Structure 1
Amino acid sequence: MTGRTGGSVVVLGGSGFLGRHVCAAFAAAGADVVPVSRTARPAPAGCHPVRLDLLAADTGALARLCAGADVVVNAAGAVWGGTEQDMAEANTHLVDRLTRALATLPARPRLVQLGSAYEYGPAEPGAVTGEDHPPAPNTPYGRSKLAGTRTVLRATAERDLDAVVLRVAVACGPGAPAASLPGIVAAHLAEGRGTLRLAPLLAHRDLVDVRDVADAVVAAARAPADRVAGTVVNIGSGRAVPVRALVDLMIALGGRPLRIVEERTAPGTRSDAPWQRLDVSRARRVLDWAPRRSLEESLADFLSAAGVSPARSRPTGQPQPPGHQAGA
């Protein structure tokens, strides 16, 4: 194995949805992995968890934590359930302290910052969003993540950090949060509820398996610095999937009846952006990475982990959710 993946890897937010899979991918690659989080959760073999409240940790504590590491992955952050202040603290201020801490180290690790496709803001239906698209987020979450990305890019220019930002689409797969749309659908399937009321399912989303995201992080850690340092790289499927098709596929895979009622009075989604589809050609070029897992595989594995035994073979007549491959 080349690059920086064979040594010590510190994963901030190592107990979260993305962080757990990132830790597992690095451990499988032979790294000595240190997952860092406030909670003590079981970690994959080869991992040595550290408990630390990252929001309370100052620059000195973060520097001591990362000293000697070959790679630092920032998978920590507040998502849609938090307040605007929570998001600013976790997605922006923590990143500022982290980059300052890494700049003090005599041997600086590579930083892989996990950003979000929601940094781009709304896109026109049919559009394919590349990394050069001017970001204009319209949610507190997107704005806080964009501020974190800009902090990392500024640190590479002003403090000579070796850092790359992966701008991740909507991740799905085993362990997806219970509050996510797949989590809500899976809970209703597992409990045998007959009806699920949702806000109108009109959006299209770029959906990528969380294990493919973890593979992209490993690829970003091993890539030559002259190809990735100071860059933003989209990580997604390159397809726009109708959210309604996502729900229908989950029900078909679960093999249990569930009636979906779309109504405007039901709880809304975390973003009203109607369309999301990323251009992932840069990831193919600079990381030699491409998504490998199909949406059906991702959802089937998620349902199995959530206690719903899915049918591995697609039911007769069940269509593949529509979408278009991004240009390579």
Structure 2
Amino acid sequence: MNIVVLGAAGFLGTHICRALVEAGDRVVTLPAGFDLVTAEPEKIAAFVAKADAVVNAAGRAWKANEHQMYTGNVELPLRVLRALALLDRRPTLVQLGSSHEYGPGTGGAGTHESTEPAPVTPYGRTKLLGSRAVLDAAREGAQPGVVLRIANVCGPGTPPGSLLGSVTGRLARLAREPGPAGVPAELRLPPLHAWRDFVDVRDVADAVLATVRADDVEVAGQVINIGSGVAVHTRDVVGQLIAVSGLPVRIVEETPAGGQPRVDTEWQQLDVSRAAELLGWEPRRSLDQSLRDLLAAA
């Protein structure tokens, strides 16, 4: 198949491109410097005209303000949709959404795709607007598309702006420049109180691969959760990452300057049964493997 991957140089995009190429697909990426947000729809359409599917792995998450998130997570998919509308033969658009679109989950339970989204962060709100644009176009018959609503992604190459990426970066520096012998290093972090569903980035890539090969009739207009299906406490995950590193580190949790904790959800866990039903997909990598490979890559 001919697959266009938007955001191919990013964390998700890199792994998705690798999985598609290994499966025998031809991957097309935009040239360096091509700005999807400002490009005319006609120019975007020229790049995707021969595609069987377009995977939107572009967007803004870490170290971005709300305006930047709106530009990357809302305006970008809208511009892509306008470009696809110019084509006589329209490829399937696979939009990578986020579990943060749901907002607060129910403790002890997985969130199903039928749950009404109620995001509480700028990231979740902007990702939801982008997802809804793709779903509306699909349900109106204007553009075949599907939204993969993805849990917190980890594994090799996890961005440094994320919790696990940040901790990994500090552990890597400590491994290169250890402190005094027998004295544990302090790892200062904001309060670790949330439960999160973590999924390996390579499992996400496998889900994208399964989606582009799925029957358009079955998946068009659908939201499909992609996660591990299990919630784990973030303090335990950070502790597990430190344990895997083998370094003497002590976690110190402290409230950010100003005394205002981050506004977020306490519990995130996805029900991934629809992915198994429609895509034949399920997560294959354990969290332990993801953390080990994350550290090895760093």
State if a TM-score over 0.5 links the two structures.
Answer: yes
Contact kept in structure 1, 2:42 and 2:86, CA below 8 Å: no
Name the structure 2 match of 1:204. 195
Task: Give the drift of 1:50.
Answer: 5.1
Per the normalisation by structure 2, the TM-score is 0.93
Match of 1:22 among 16, 27, 30: 16
Measure, in 2, the Cα distance between the counterparts of 1:270 and 1:74: 28
Gaps of 5+ in 1: 1-6, 37-48, 307-328
Match of 2:267 among 264, 272, 275: 275
Name the structure 1 match of 2:232. 241
Name the structure 1 match of 2:122. 140
Aligned positions of 1:247-286 closer than 5 A: 247-265=238-256, 272-286=264-278
Name the structure 2 match of 1:41. none
Aligned positions of 1:223-242 closer than 5 A: 223-242=214-233
SS of residue matched to 1:206: strand
Task: Give the drift of 1:188.
Answer: 2.0
Contact kept in structure 1, 2:53 and 2:212, CA below 8 Å: yes
Per the normalisation by structure 1, the TM-score is 0.84
Q: Share of identical aligned residues, percent?
A: 54
SS of residue matched to 1:171: strand
Measure, in 2, the Cα distance between the counterparts of 1:161 and 1:102: 8
Aligned positions of 1:142-157 closer than 5 A: 142-157=124-139
Name the structure 1 match of 2:5. 11
Name the structure 1 match of 2:181. none
Measure, in 1, the Cα distance between the counterparts of 2:94 and 2:85: 14
Q: 1:182-241 CA distances to partner (integer Å, 9 max, x unpaired)?
A: 122112222226111111111100000000000000100000112101100000000001
Aligned positions of 1:73-222 closer than 5 A: 73-192=55-174, 194-222=185-213
Gaps of 5+ in 2: 179-184
Contact kept in structure 1, 2:62 and 2:162, CA below 8 Å: no
Higher relative contact order (CA 8 A, sep 6+): 2
Measure, in 2, the Cα distance between the counterparts of 1:166 and 1:220: 9
Task: Give the drift of 1:60.
Answer: 1.2
Measure, in 1, the Cα distance between the counterparts of 2:76 and 2:198: 27
Match of 2:47 among 65, 85, 89: 65
Decide whether aligned partners of structure 1 residues 236 and 174 sit closer, same or farther in structure 2, where only a CA change above 3 A counts.
Answer: same
Contact kept in structure 2, 1:152 and 1:163, CA below 8 Å: yes
SS of residue matched to 1:9: strand
Measure, in 1, the Cα distance between the counterparts of 2:38 and 2:284: 38
Decide whether aligned partners of structure 1 residues 270 and 96 sit closer, same or farther in structure 2, where only a CA change above 3 A counts.
Answer: farther
Measure, in 1, the Cα distance between the counterparts of 2:261 and 2:290: 21
Task: Give the drift of 1:58.
Answer: 2.0
What is the Cα-based RMSD across aligned positions, in Å? 1.6
Contact kept in structure 1, 2:194 and 2:267, CA below 8 Å: yes
Contact kept in structure 2, 1:103 and 1:159, CA below 8 Å: no
Task: Give the drift of 1:64.
Answer: 1.0
Query: Which residue type is aligned with residue 181 of structure 1?
Result: L
1:297 aligns with 2:289: yes
Task: Give the drift of 1:127.
Answer: 2.7
Task: Give the drift of 1:78.
Answer: 0.8
